[in-house]
Structure 1
Amino acid sequence: MNRISKFFDDTLLDLGRQFKWSYLPPLMVYVAAGISGLTGIVGTFFVKDYLNLSAAFLAGLGFWAGIPWALKMPLGHLVDLIWNKKNYMVYFGAFLISISLLIMYGLIIHTEELALIFSVEKWFVISVILAPVGYVIQDVVADAMTVEAVPLTDEKGKDYTKDQIKLMHTTMQTLGRFAIIGGTVLVALANVILFRDVDNLEQAEKINLYGSIYIYALIIPLVSVLGVILGSYLKKKRINDLRIQGLEYKDEHSTQKTEINWWILGGSLIFVIFTLSVGSLNLPFAQEIVFIGSVIIILFLMFKLIKELPKHLRLTIVGTAVIIFIFRAMPGPGPGLTWFEIDVLEFNEQFFSILSLLASILTLVGIVMLRPFMAKNSIAKLIVVLSIAGAILFLPSVGMYYGFHNWTASLTGGVVDAKFIAIINTALESPLGQVSMIPLLAWIAKNAPTHLKATFFAVFASFTNLALSASALGTKYLNQ
């Protein structure tokens, strides 16, 4: 009983004790990113039923919409260069997101009026490109805000120990992932409520519903802007509180001025030009060429960046990034498994939406449960545990191909059937991918040079995100 109460205290109650109001501003920007999917279902159905755009056109557009995320590295460096003015980047990002949402509202409700200015396709392309540019700008600033959110001293000006700061950074990054996924849970619930009677609506009513969802979505940029305003207020309040006691405010970034790193800017520019040119030329093996070229460019930038670190820390961060890269690059079963679940196991849209919501909620639970383990153990140990868990949890999916669900159903009177196994599997599998990134982000927040925090976040996040491209390529080959 004592062990259960200690576990409960370490995971849930301790998280409450660790929470600081300074964590809230970056969490608000992360929540805004999480709820950005609010218009996803509307966009899919409206584009399919009313805009008459081809699947090939949309697939090509998907590629271009992903390009702004390639700008994460130079934008991260820009945040370091204008650290004290970085709030304006969030305002600009919010402005772009708002314009994107209002264009889509106009396309749905005032289609004919907008078509007089530009073609519907042109408006749609502008909207689809603007939104991710806004989100990537806000994302790099939110990463930087997580560094500021962790105080170096307590309310009385006493310095925190290294272990205390490590725990606070782990908590901050855990809550960051929690906020993003929490946003997706809110979206899933909102969609269930908003679309509950959609089949009974007339076409005009349906179009009005679609339009109103884009207006509701304007809360996304509003939340991020409020987060930044709150952050400025809390920082000023803390400085004043310390000044009253005759103490000085200590900030991670105030000690050293950031010089322009032309390697980062030049390398990032080459990366963007390379990705754009290869992606738009329709070359054979374009994905493979982009992936290999991207890895070479980003490894070069990482090599230049780690020279800013003390020698004893260089191998740590490279080893950490490589371990996480390999873990995230493992290929998955791809659409083949989903099709098997639809065709053979007869899962429908509603059941998949339940699985999706369940996965998000349980990822939140998993992240909270694993936080003490992450704070107290090395990244290598965490990845080994996650890898073994992932392999074991994939076995039921393999088993169902061989009729495992028929055997369990016959033993349990139909209770443990394919859907039951899928729910349990989703419940256990969900947190693994998200958890792997938290220790790297916490390490960078704590150990990266004070004048290059945002640059480190951007470059190493780009490297570990390339692992997802490697995973997608591996999955494609497996399915072929």
Structure 2
Amino acid sequence: MKILYQNLILPIKHLQLKYMPILIIYFSYGISQFLSIAEIFWIKNELNLSSVEVIQLSFWLFAPWTYKIIFAQAIERIQIFGSLRKSYIIIGALINFAGYIMLIGIANDMHWVKIFGNTYHQLLVAGILKASGYIIQDLIADTLCFELVSKTDSEGKPLSADLIKFEIGILQLQGKLILKFGLLISATIGGYLAANFSFSYIVWYSLLVPIFSLLSLINLNFNEQISKTQLNKYYLFFILLSIAISLYIEIKKIPFNQEIVFVINLLVVIFLIHPFLTFMDNAKLIRFLTFSGMIFIYRMQPHFGPAIDWWQIDVLQFNPHFFANLKQATIIIGVCGTWLLSSFIIKSSIPRIIIAFTIISTIFKLPIIGMAYGLHIWTEQVFGFGAKTIALIDTSLSSPFDIAFMASVWTFYTLNSPTNNRFTYFALVACLLNLEYAAAELLTKYLNQIYFVERGQYELIPNLTLSVTCINFILPILGVLFFTILNKKFSSHHLDKQSKPELIIATPN
């Protein structure tokens, strides 16, 4: 009971006023999801997009995150109005605002949005604008997670690496928890709005989100330092080349265009992140690469796709209020679990966390598989309760603990961040992490092409749900086993060489 109490108060006990800018940025992203429930019904009922097209659209919306390095190069070196932090938070909010204006135009069928083409391309432009705004603010928040954590004690003496790791882990955990609270509020508000108003009306409220994010400027006071290095022309060249190739491939509708873009972007990110690894000694490098491999496979898990939402609406008779209840239940489970397991998340290794969360997320998917095979019909006949009692969580989320997992992931990458060019490093890591999501979208697309489900045609839903769940259980476990064996193999054959300077904790400025 004492351990449970300690875990419960741990995030609150270490809450500091100087961390508020980071928490506000995360919270604003959380509340931005209030549109999601109304958007499900809007896409299903008003847009002529297939489930595969919706998934393809999701893939392209991850593209801006892959090009995060361009923003990082600017943020790290170019002051705007004398600031490297506040000015870019404002720029991110303005770009975000433009994205929501575009979405308002689409939802209300305004004439001016037609210059961007059909509905698919209009949504693509709006999504890219919104993503770009969030990218800039997210990049600021990620870097502040390192910069705002104290590196010295009250007497000016350097803190130990373990203590710095603990504080960064706590801050990451606080950030993910506040994000969850934002999602909880957005689910509550979003369910009510979706049940009572049209999407074309609700979307106007989205303009408040970028305005709220500007509250992070209030307490953001610390000594900013401009990177002493110049803009890296190689980074800009390769990223701009990647963007040009991606646009050409998409415009020309070249076969397997998404797969080609994914491979190109992955190779570019690996090439650009390589210099940041050269300062690690061999043991640290092996651990970094194998853990990154585990994380990549865990995060590339496919999801059910939009067809599962359409099936739940048409067959299970889920309405906006019930979708809100599912989202709330999912978020509450995630928040409570993250809070109570905070010590486990901070202290455990990446492999242990992956295995634990894989098992948990598989268990949470069992009810939806059962209902796909008619479990709700049997329970209704025998026990008197049906689908709305069996459903546990929002199936659009792969696991209630995904955000908690990301707290440990960002702690791992933050601890391996360099002293200089930290923006660039975090941007490249974010590119890699979002390429994992892009890989998940590709797998989701393949499964939805194999088990093609359209509105009103749900015969293949059982095959789809079972396949997705099996893949999501087997892939991460195999990934952990494979990279653990690889880690041991390389470690055992490692020859004693002169160690390079370590790059685990940046030295105090």
TM-score by length of 2: 0.73
Does the CA contact (< 8 Å) of 2:64 and 2:132 recur in 1?
yes
- Change in Cα spacing, 1:95 to 1:48, as seen in structure 2 (3 Å) is same
Inter-CA distance 223–428: structure 2 relative to 1 (3 Å threshold): closer
CA RMSD for the aligned pairs?
A: 3.8
What is aligned with 1:469? 438
Task: Kindly indicate whether residue 26 of structure 2 is the aligned counterpart of residue 26 of structure 1.
Answer: no
TM norm structure 1: 0.77
Equivalent residue runs for 1:2-21 within 5 Å: 4-7=1-4, 9-21=5-17
Q: Does 1:151 align with 2:120?
A: no
Report the CA distance between 1:34 and its aligned residue: 2.1
Q: CA deviation at 1:104?
A: 6.0
Please tell me whether residue 363 in structure 1 is matched to residue 352 in structure 2.
Answer: no
Kindly provide the amino acid, as one letter, of the partner of residue 235 in structure 2: I
Counterpart of 1:326 (choices 279, 282, 297) is 297
1:80 CA drift (Å)? 3.1
Aligned to 2:137: 138
Is the contact between residue 26 and residue 227 of structure 1 (CA under 8 Å) also seen in structure 2? yes
* 1:150 partner SS: coil
Q: Give the match for residue 433 of structure 1.
A: 402
Q: CA deviation at 1:174?
A: 1.6
2:209 maps to 220
Matched residues, number: 438
Contact persistence 1:93–1:135 (CA under 8 A): yes
How much has 1:355 moved relative to structure 2? 1.2
Instruction: Summarize the Cα distance change of 1:450–1:310 in structure 2 as closer, same or farther, 3 Å threshold.
Output: farther
Distance 1:153 1:354 in 2: 45
Deviation at residue 340 of structure 1 after TM alignment: 5.2
Deviation at residue 135 of structure 1 after TM alignment? 1.9
Match of 2:477 in 1: none
Distance 1:258 1:11, change over 3 A: farther
Write the distance in 2 (CA, Å) between the matches of 1:428 and 1:80.
34
Deviations 1:103-143 (A, max 9, x none): 666888996xxx5xx56545967755533322222121121
Q: What does residue range 63-74 of structure 1 map to in structure 2 within 5 Å?
A: 65-74=61-70
- 1:77 equivalenced with 2:77 (yes/no): no
Structure 2 vs 1, CA of residues 295 and 100 (structure 1 numbering), >3 Å: closer, same or farther?
closer
Distance 1:367 1:355 in 2: 18
Q: Which residue of 2 aligns with 1:231?
A: 220
Report if the CA contact (8 A) 1:328-1:467 is conserved. yes
Q: Any idea what the Cα deviations from partners look like across 1:16-40, whole Å, max 9, x if unmatched?
A: 1111222111111122222233455
Alignment of 1:22-101 (within 5 A): 22-39=18-35, 55=49, 65-82=61-78, 85-101=84-100
Shift of 1:158: 4.3
Corresponding residue number in structure 2 for 1:389: 360
Query: Which deviates more from structure 2 when the two are superposed, residues 381-390 or residues 420-429?
Result: 420-429
Task: Report the Cα offset of residue 172 of structure 1.
Answer: 1.2
The CA distance in 2 between the partners of 1:458 and 1:335, in whole Å, is 29
| 2:260 match | 289
C-alpha displacement of 1:323:
0.4
Q: 1:454 aligns to what?
A: 423
When residues 180 and 343 of structure 1 are mapped into structure 2, their CA distance, relative to the original with a 3 A threshold, is: same
Query: Take 2:127 and 2:168, find their aligned partners in 1: how far apart are those partners?
Result: 34
Could you say what secondary structure the match of 2:341 adopts?
A: helix
Correspondence for 1:275: 246
* Closer/same/farther in 2, CA of residues 260 and 319 from structure 1, 3 Å limit: farther
Contact 1:11–1:371 under 8 Å retained in 2: yes
Shift of 1:326: 0.8
- SS of 1:31's equivalent in the other structure is helix
Give secondary structure in 1 for the equivalent of 2:67.
Answer: helix
User: Counterparts in 2 of 1:372-411, with a 5 A limit?
Assistant: 372-405=343-376
1:317 matched to 2:298? The reply is no
Q: Which 5+ residue runs of structure 2 have no aligned equivalent?
A: 451-509
- Would the aligned equivalents of 1:362 and 1:430 in 2 still touch at CA under 8 Å? no
Greater shift in the superposed pair: 31-40 or 102-111? 102-111
- In the alignment, which residue of structure 2 is the partner of 1:181? 180
Give yes or no for contact 1:309–1:448 (8 Å, CA) kept in 2: no
Answer yes or no: is 1:414 the counterpart of 2:411.
Answer: no
Counterpart code for 2:129: L
Q: For residues 43 and 348 of structure 1, do their structure 2 counterparts lie closer, same or farther at Cα, with a shift above 3 Å needed?
A: closer
Q: What is residue 496 of structure 2 aligned with on the other side? A: none
Cα distance in 2 for residues equivalent to 1:386 and 1:38? 26
- For the residue of structure 1 that corresponds to 2:24, the secondary structure is helix
Letter of the 2:197 counterpart: V
1:305 aligns with 2:302: no
- Maintained 8 Å contact 1:11/1:372: yes
| Secondary structure, aligned partner of 1:231 | coil
Code of the residue aligned with 2:420 in structure 1: it is H
Normalized per residue, the structure richer in helix is: 1
Q: 418-427 vs 220-229, which deviates more? A: 418-427
2:443 and 2:107 map into 1 onto residues whose CA distance is 39
The code of the aligned residue for 1:230 comes to N
Moved more, 17-26 or 258-267: 258-267
Please tell me whether residue 265 in structure 1 is matched to residue 236 in structure 2: yes
- CA distance 1:43–1:375, change in 2 (3 Å): closer
* 1:402-433 Cα deviation digits (max 9, x unpaired): 4545565677x335x43323226979974232
Shift of 1:441: 0.8
